[in-house]
C-alpha cells in the first residue's frame, strides 16, 4: 500500500475502498487511484467575492500542472468572504472559513492542497486552515486588479472611496461627479490595487514562504499568473512526494521575514491580527511586541496608496516584492524556508533591480527610515494597541486632546455631524464597543470619518482611538486594536468625553490623563454595555463566547494549534 494519506481511502479490494473509488469514477481513469498524490484546490472563487471571481480560471491552470506532474487535481470550493458585500464584517467569519476548510481537508482523501485566495480574509483563513491540518500546502494569490482612472487620474481602489466621499462631505466634489467615478474604479478582475489588506497578505504569504517565489503581486489579468498557477500545481505534487508540511517549513524566522516585508511595504495593519492567528495555528510563539521590535529598524521603501502615491500595477512594474526584499536582505532570516524546500533568500539572488525608484525606493533613499507598526501601551491599552506611523500625520504623533467618546458605530453616525457637537481639531475621537466581542467581528471602523464642520474648516486628520480595526486601504492618525477591548472590560469602557487623552508614539504610550484611582473607580459606560452584541445562537454565539483579543490574533480559543491530518474513525 502506498504511504500516501489518500491510500487510506483508495487502496485495497475491500468494500470501503470500492465505495471510495467508485463514487469518484466520473471520467477519472483507473490510474487516478494507483498511488498518485491527490491535490485539493481550495478555491474561494465566488460571485459574491468579486475580488476572487477569476479564481476558477486560475484553478484550471493549477489542475493542468497537477496532472502534468503525476497528481490528481480536485476542486474544493470553500467558504469565501467578500470584503465589500458581507455584513456586518467579513472578519466575523475568518475563523469560520478557516475551521470549515481545515475540516474539509482533514475529512477528504487528499494528500496536499493548493490554496486560492485574494480578497482580504481569504488568504489568512486558508493559511490558518492549512497550518491546523498540516498537509503540504502552497498558496496562489489571486493578484490585484489593474489601475483604473477617473478624469485622467489613477483611482486607488478603496482608498479613493474614502477620499472622494470626504470631498463630497466637505462640499468640494459634487455628488454627480462622485457617482461618475464609481464605474471607473474597478478596471479589471482582481483584488484592491492599493497596499491594502489583500495586497499585503498576498505579498506576506510569499515572504512567509508559502507561495512559489515570484508569484505574489502579479496582477490578476496578467497571463503570467496562469503560468505560475500551472507551475504551482506541479510544486504541490512535489511537496507531497517529499513530505513538505507547514510544520516542517515555517518557523519564527518565517514570521520575522513577513514582519520585515510588512514594514518595508508599508502594509496593512490587518496583517498583525492575521499573522498572529496563523502563528498560533503553527505553534510559533509570535507576540504583538515582535512587530515593533522587528519592524523598528526596517525602512519604508514602497510609495503606494493608501499612504503614498502609486498602485499595485506600478509596484509590479517597478520590480515587485523581490526588488523590495533584496534591499532589506540583510534584515531577513537566512534560514527561513519556503515551499520549494529552499530558503527565501535563495530565491532573491538572481532577481534584477528596481525599475522605477519612484515606486520602490532604494535602501539609501527610503520614504521613512523606520516604518514598522508601533505597539503602544498605557492605561488605555494595558494589553497593547497599534498605530501605523506610515499612514499617520507626523504633527499628531505626539498629541494631547480632549476625548469625544462614542459608545457604538450607531452613536457615531447619529452625532458626528451634529453642528452642536463639542469638538475641535485638537479633540481625540474615541470609538468603543468595536472589538472582536463587542460588535462582534471587529469591524474596520477605527478610521472614523471626521466631523463635517471640521472638514469644512480644512481639517483632514485627527487622532482617533478605537478597539476595532481599520481598512488596509485607509489612512490617518489612528490608534487601533486597543486591548483589552471595551466589551471585555478594557479601560476604554470608562473613558468620558472631556478626559485628556495623550498619544506619544515615540515613547509608545496611549493614556488617559486622569488619576488611576479615578479610572478604577468609574463604572463602565451603560450605553456601551447596552450596545454590545449578545447573540443567542449560531456562529455569532460561538464566536462571541470564544474569540480571543486582537493582541493574540482574534482566533477562537479552541482553534489555536493543530489537530494534524488524521481522521479518528472510518464510517463505512
Task: Write out the residues near ligand FES by the rule CB under 6 A.
Answer: 51, 83-84, 119-120, 158, 191-192, 196, 198
| Nearer residue to ligand FES within complex by CB, 83 or 333 | 83
State the nearest-atom distance from the C-beta of 53 to ligand FES, in Å.
10
Q: How many CB atoms lie within 10 A of CB 51?
A: 30
Phi, psi torsion values for 460, nearest 5 degrees: -120, -5
Q: Would you give the DSSP letter of residue 375?
A: E
Query: Which runs of consecutive H residues, i.e. helices, occur in 377-451?
Result: 409-415
- Residue 191 C-beta: closest distance to ligand FES, Å: 4
DSSP 6: T
Q: Output phi, psi for 312, to 5 deg.
A: -60, -30
**DSSP assignment of 256-273:** HHHHHHHHHHT--THHHH
Residue 183 CA to residue 524 CA, distance in Å, equals 45
CB 448 to ligand FES: min, Å: 19
In whole angstroms, the minimum distance from the beta carbon of 185 to ligand FES comes to 11
Closest separation in Å from C-beta 184 to ligand FES: 16
C-alpha 38/C-alpha 19 separation (Å) is: 17
99 vs 198, beta carbon nearer ligand FES: 198
Q: Which is nearer to ligand FES, 120 or 511 (CB)?
A: 120
Closest distance of CB 314 from ligand FES, Å: 17
Closest approach, Cβ 124 to ligand FES, in A, equals 12
CB of 86 to ligand FES, least distance (A): 10
Supply the minimum distance, in Å, between the C-beta of residue 200 and ligand FES. Answer: 10
Q: Which ranges of 266-356 would DSSP assign to H, the alpha helix? A: 270-282, 288-295, 312-317, 320-327
Give 69 or 98: the residue with its C-beta nearer to ligand FES.
98
Q: How far is the CB of 537 from ligand FES (least distance, A)?
A: 29
Q: What angle do helix axes 288-295 and 270-282 make, rounded to 10 degrees? A: 120
First to last CA, the chain: 20
Of the two residues 158 and 266, which places its CB atom closer to ligand FES in the complex? 158
Report the number of secondary-structure helices (H) and strands (E) in the chain.
20, 14
Q: Which long-range contacts (C-beta less than 8 Å, at least 24 apart) are formed by 86-90? A: 88/439, 88/440, 88/441, 88/443, 89/439, 89/441, 89/442, 89/443, 89/444, 90/119, 90/120, 90/121
Q: Closest separation between CB of residue 120 and ligand FES, Å?
A: 5
SS3 499: coil
| 61/268 with CB nearer ligand FES | 268
Q: What is the largest CA-CA distance in the chain?
A: 80
- Is the Cβ of residue 196 or residue 531 nearer to ligand FES in the bound state? 196
Sign of CA dihedral 94, 289, 312, 172: positive
Residue closer to ligand FES by CB (options 37, 118) is 118
Of residues 306 and 490, the one with the C-beta less far from ligand FES: 306
Which residue's CB is nearer to ligand FES, number 112 or number 196?
A: 196
Cβ(282)–Cβ(562) under 8 Å? yes
Residue with smaller CB distance to ligand FES, 38 or 122 = 122
Q: Tell me the sheet residues that pair with 148.
A: 155
> How far is it, in rounded angstroms, from Cα 335 to Cα 330?
12
| Sign of the C-alpha dihedral computed for residues 53, 58, 64 and 68 taken in this order | negative
Amino acid at each position: 500500500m502506498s504511504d500516501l494519506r489518500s491510500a487510506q481511502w483508495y487502496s485495497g479490494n475491500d468494500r470501503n475502498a470500492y465505495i471510495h473509488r467508485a463514487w469518484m469514477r466520473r471520467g477519472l481513469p483507473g490510474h487516478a487511484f494507483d498511488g498518485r498524490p491527490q491535490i485539493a484546490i481550495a478555491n474561494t472563487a465566488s460571485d459574491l467575492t468579486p475580488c476572487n471571481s477569476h479564481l476558477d480560471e486560475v484553478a484550471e491552470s493549477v489542475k493542468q500542472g497537477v496532472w502534468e506532474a503525476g497528481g490528481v487535481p480536485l476542486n474544493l470550493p470553500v467558504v469565501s468572504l467578500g470584503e465589500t458585500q458581507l455584513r456586518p464584517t467579513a472578519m466575523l467569519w475568518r475563523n469560520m472559513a478557516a475551521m470549515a476548510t481545515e475540516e474539509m481537508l482533514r475529512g477528504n482523501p487528499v494528500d496536499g492542497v493548493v490554496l486560492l485566495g485574494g480578497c482580504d480574509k481569504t488568504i489568512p483563513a486558508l493559511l490558518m486552515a492549512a497550518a491546523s491540518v498540516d498537509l503540504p500546502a502552497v498558496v496562489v494569490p489571486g493578484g490585484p486588479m489593474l489601475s483604473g482612472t477617473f478624469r485622467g487620474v489613477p483611482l486607488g481602489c478603496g482608498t479613493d472611496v474614502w477620499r472622494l466621499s470626504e470631498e463630497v462631505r466637505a462640499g468640494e466634489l459634487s455628488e454627480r461627479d462622485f457617482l461618475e467615478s464609481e464605474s471607473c474604479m474597478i478596471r479589471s478582475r482582481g483584488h484592491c490595487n492599493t497596499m491594502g489588506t489583500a495586497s499585503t497578505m498576498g505579498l506576506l504569504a510569499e515572504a512567509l514562504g508559502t507561495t512559489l517565489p515570484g508569484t505574489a503581486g502579479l496582477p490578476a489579468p496578467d497571463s503570467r499568473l496562469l503560468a505560475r498557477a500551472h507551475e504551482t500545481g506541479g510544486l504541490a505534487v512535489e511537496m507531497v512526494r517529499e513530505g513538505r508540511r507547514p510544520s516542517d517549513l515555517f518557523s519564527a524566522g518565517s514570521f520575522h521575514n513577513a514582519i520585515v516585508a510588512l514594514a518595508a511595504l508599508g502594509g496593512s495593519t490587518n496583517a498583525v491580527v492575521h499573522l498572529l492567528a496563523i502563528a498560533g495555528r503553527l505553534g510559533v510563539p509570535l507576540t504583538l511586541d515582535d512587530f515593533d521590535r522587528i519592524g523598528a529598524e526596517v525602512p519604508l521603501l514602497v510609495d503606494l496608496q493608501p499612504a503614498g502615491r502609486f498602485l499595485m500595477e506600478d509596484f509590479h512594474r517597478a520590480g515587485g516584492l523581490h526588488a523590495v526584499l533584496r534591499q532589506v536582505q540583510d534584515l531577513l532570516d537566512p534560514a527561513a524556508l519556503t515551499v520549494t524546500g529552499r530558503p527565501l533568500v535563495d530565491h532573491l539572488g538572481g532577481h534584477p533591480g528596481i525599475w522605477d525608484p519612484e515606486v520602490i525606493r532604494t535602501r539609501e533613499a527610503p520614504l521613512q527610515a523606520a516604518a514598522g507598526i508601533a505597539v503602544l501601551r498605557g492605561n488605555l491599552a494595558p494589553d497593547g494597541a497599534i498605530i501605523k506611523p506610515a499612514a499617520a500625520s507626523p504633527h499628531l504623533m505626539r498629541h494631547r486632546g480632549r476625548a469625544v467618546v462614542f459608545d457604538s458605530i450607531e452613536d457615531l453616525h447619529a452625532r458626528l455631524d451634529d453642528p452642536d457637537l463639542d469638538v475641535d481639531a485638537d479633540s481625540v475621537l474615541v470609538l468603543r464597543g468595536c472589538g472582536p466581542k463587542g460588535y462582534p467581528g471587529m469591524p474596520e471602523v477605527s478610521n472614523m470619518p471626521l466631523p463635517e464642520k471640521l472638514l469644512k474648516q480644512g481639517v483632514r486628520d485627527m487622532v482617533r482611538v478605537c478597539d476595532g480595526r481599520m481598512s488596509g486601504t485607509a489612512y490617518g492618525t489612528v490608534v487601533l486594536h486597543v486591548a483589552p477591548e471595551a466589551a471585555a472590560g478594557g479601560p476604554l469602557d470608562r473613558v468620558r468625553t472631556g478626559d485628556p487623552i495623550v498619544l506619544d508614539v515615540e515613547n509608545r504610550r496611549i493614556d488617559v490623563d486622569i488619576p488611576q484611582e479615578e479610572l478604577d473607580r468609574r463604572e463602565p459606560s451603560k450605553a456601551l454595555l447596552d450596545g454590545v452584541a449578545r447573540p443567542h445562537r449560531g456562529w455569532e454565539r460561538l464566536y462571541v463566547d470564544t474569540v480571543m483579543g486582537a493582541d493574540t490574533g482574534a482566533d477562537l480559543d479552541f482553534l489555536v494549534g493543530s489537530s494534524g491530518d488524521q481522521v479518528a474513525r472510518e464510517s463505512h
